[in-house]
Amino acid sequence: MAVRFEKWEGLGNDFVVVSPEAAEGLDARAVCDRHRGIGADGVLIVSPPGTGPARMRVINADGSEPEMCGNGLRCAALSLVAAGLAPAGRPFPVLTGAGLHTCEVVDGAAGLVRVTMRPPALAPAEVPTTLPAEQGAVLDRAIHLGARALAVSCVSMGNPHAVTFDPLDGSERAELGPLLEAATDLFPARVNAGFARLTGPRAIELFVHERGAGWTEACGTGACAAAVAAVATGRIAPGGPIAVTLPGGTLTIEVPAPGQPVRMTGPARRVFVGELG
């Protein structure tokens, strides 16, 4: 039986969006194969609101299931609005594996979506990481990956992130990204590895090696984690917008006072619709 799907992308982070009914028996690895399938970083299973809020479930290209995906959530939110299943111009909740998030399409023509994320967690047990904390957080902590020393800050946005601001070139990032993601002695659930560089008083350049997807054009939760790490380490003051530029484009992140929700604003776009099978 043919399965109807929509292809969406947020700053080049691309997804196959299906209903729960269409997802039954679907092999995410085959669907995400860029040579023999549709091609995507992951599959989003989006349920419309009913007796409860709308839901989004994420399956990575390797078949693993992360708790949360920021770019995916913007795509899911805009797909619900486009289908008339959620209000345009008003906030509405979407339940994810990392809890409830509030979404709002702030500019439908531009596909601009604002997401109120969950408050970030810095405590090691919540990331999770085995690295020891100082004053309740793991910030600029030196670790060793093979022969290389690296300073990382650990943040959970509902999924685990390790962010480094160490100056690294492309070949060093290419080597260290997979090693950091797979360092299960330090990160029992693996980790999204973020390589950040300050490019201005409130601007960050970021490259992310994602769990289950590898190097990605963009990572919404990774952008939030990098901004949180920059604020927590005193590199950037809290409060105002922070521009986080990834290979696929720029997200605007707002990090308020500690313990408060982070806000992420960026675009999403439907690429095409089709049938599989």
pLDDT in tens, 117-170: 989 999 999 999 999 999 999 999 999 998 889 999 999 999 999 999 999 999
Catalytic residue among 69, 75, 103, 224: 69
Q: What is the pLDDT of residues 18-44, one digit of tens each?
A: 999 999 889 999 999 999 999 999 999
Q: For residue 223, give every residue at least 6 positions away whose Cβ sits within 8 Å of its Cβ, in sequence order, or none.
A: 70, 204, 206, 244, 246, 251, 253, 264
Q: In this structure, what are the phi and psi dihedrals at residue 196, rounded to the nearest 5 degrees? A: -115, 150
- Active-site hit among 32, 103, 219, 224: 219
For residue 233, give the H/E element and its range.
none
- What is the average pLDDT value for the chain, to the nearest integer? 95
Contact 275, 2 (CB under 8 A): yes
Judge: domain 3-117+267-276, CATH 3.10.310.10.
yes
| Global confidence as pTM | 0.94
- The domain ranges of the chain are 3-117+267-276, 124-260
Calpha distance 42→2 (Å, rounded)? 19
* Residue 69 is a catalytic residue: yes
Q: What percent of the chain has pLDDT over 70?
A: 100
Q: Is 154 a catalytic residue?
A: no
**Identical topology for domains 3-117+267-276 and 124-260:** yes
Fold of 124-260: Diaminopimelate Epimerase; Chain A, domain 1 (3.10.310)
